[in-house]
Each structure stands twice: as C-alpha cells, then as structure tokens.
Structure 1
C-alpha cells in the first residue's frame, strides 16, 4: 500500500516514514506543500498523511485543490488542536484528523481504518492457488497452514501476488519494497526472495516463486490458476 507523507519537520517525518515502512507500507515523504500537491495529483496513493503548516503551501490549500479532482483518503496530522481547526479540516474534505503529539499505535489504527473504508482501498484478501494473503490482518496461509513473514517479506509477497506471471526486476522490487535505488553490489533483494521462498515453497510440491535468470523473479504456478481478489463483507 502506497502512502504519501507530507511533513516538513525532519524528526517527525523520519519517525513516521520508518514506522510506517516497518508496518509494511511503501511511503513517499515530501517536506513542502508544493511537492505534496504535485505528488498527490500525479501518483497513485491509497492514503495521504498531511500536516497543516507547511512551507510553500499549507495543508488546507493542498486539500482544497486536491478535492477538485481526487478522492484519495486524507488524514490530517498536525499540532493545530483547536476545535475550529478540526472542523475546517473535515469540512474541506479530510477523512480524519489527529493532533500531535500522538501515539504511533493510534495513528496506525487510524491509517488501517481509512484504508479499509477509503474509496481507493485495497482488497481485503488476495488468493492465488492455495495461498491466501490477508492484507489488513497481515496474515498469510498456504493450504491452510499459517506462514509467518516479516514486514518486508509480507510487502514482497504482496507485490508479487498482485502481479502473477509478470517478471519483476531487482530494481523494481528494491524501489517498491525498500524505497531505495537498486545497487548491483547489494544482495538485499536476493536474500529476501530466498527467505520468502524458503517459507512459502519448502514442503510444498507446487513451487510458486521462480527465478528468471538475468531478469528477476516471477510468482506463478506454471500450469496454475488465475489470481482472485476478494473483498470481505465486514460488520
């Protein structure tokens, strides 16, 4: 899930980016209002976390302009705690409003709630062959057997299972999962794929994660079924 973070305070921005990344999200962090509006308009985000007081353009104006063309869920995260500020943010079209200082666990809960109900939210379950990936509960099973993954392994599998049969290069994977430019001297992608393959394929006759030499990796059953996406009915 791709999130845009618009926060000009370096310590807060770095803290949020690290926390959300460790929670399995892909985060783009920008520090000016102009960059925030540009990214929000031109890239596909599932959620925007937006400060109010920003250089170049404030959060109110960003949201006002964004709502002309986009319905991406927006969470205001700001030190402005007056009732009038909260009302203004919601009236402009914000989906939630959280005041600094905040507990990260509360922020994460609000992020996941918005992703569940937002107009561009992810599907809840993705099934491919005998693998079931629960996006919101962050659980994976294969043939009914629970598979425990780290946050990065989950993000890697999520990327692969959404694009079955498509060969994904190491630079693509590094950019989406680690938010980094791929350096041919690093083996971070290969190590992560090897660990995921060990957990996902070992002990199963049918192998899903394949290496395409000189190109990258592909997730597929060579004679298998199509991927199915399932949206659960939640109370």
Structure 2
C-alpha cells in the first residue's frame, strides 16, 4: 500500500493527538508525533517530512515562534492547527508563511482532505521547481524566487544556476555548460559562460544569499555548493 505522505504532528493534547494519528495512519499517512518544541529539536532530520501540522499553544514555546525556527530548516508545507480562532491570529500565522490555518475542533476527515490538497499542490510544484534552501528555481517560467520574491536575472543566468543545481556538489565541465547555455561547442577561449557566472555571483552576493556558492574548479569547470 502506497504512503500518501510522511507527516510531523506537533500537538501537546495527547488524547487529540492519538485520535488524529490513528485516523491519518489508517489513511496511508506515515505520522510522527511530538508534543513540544524541545522534542522537535531532538528530531534527527526534519527534511524527511512532506508536511508539518503544528499546534500554536505548545507547553514550552509558541507554535508561531517554533515555525520561525522550522522555516529555516525545512522546505515543506506547514499547517497551524489550533483552538485560537481570532482573525488576527489566523492572519498572523498565514503571513508567517504557513499554507493553512485550521481551527479546532475539526473532523479528522476534513483535516485529511486539507492535507491531500496541500500534497497535490506540492507535487504539482515539485515537477517544475527545484529548491535550494530558500531559493526556488522555476524551470517553466525561467525564474528564481527568494523568500517568495522573483529575482532580477536573465534567462541565461537562470539556465546556468539550474544546470549547476541539478548537479549539486558535482563538477559540471565548462564544455557542458557552454554547449547547454550558449548552444555551441567550447573553443577553449570564449569566456561567455564565465561572464554569466560572474554576474550571477554578484547578484547572489548583493542579495546576501551567502549559503549558495558557485566554485571554480581550475581546469575542470564549476561546482555549486549549498550550505545552511
């Protein structure tokens, strides 16, 4: 039986969490449950999850504050799941970057339906996008987004970064880059690709995207590394 998603549930109401876990697991969700921010910090790899459901009123930290930390480490949809039904709280949670805000109590079937919607959207996005931490490369639009805002780059700059990103931590020979981006064989002298990469580096530096580094490997080509 196929798994719909791997889900992290952060909920301190243990009877409610047990009910939700039981229902979601019966409907092809692989669920990991924790009940505090401290337990989240003990998880080895947050990026293994497809979606996160987070209570707001946790015993040791606000779910909003926890989200600010999680948002630096994970790249999956986060849903706030809380009894706080004030409009201001809902607006604040969504403005932080959560994809949904569900007010308790809610039928587990409704919760599952909302999860399915966000998984469909995520799967549609992943077919045409590539993520590098907070950077999103959209191959259909030939655009790069950083924290939701489109960056001022050319099509050639996009193509270079996208090709390097597809081979993250691998050396991409200059000849391969030249043929793919410029459209002809590299003659050993033309610096067109080097100039494109120079402009791209400058733009990333100006935007303080310092975790993304395009390295020159002498005599071989270029390598993209992506830190935290």
Give the structure-1-normalised TM-score: 0.48
Q: Which has the higher contact order (CA 8 A, sep 6+)?
A: 1
CA radius of gyration, larger in: 2
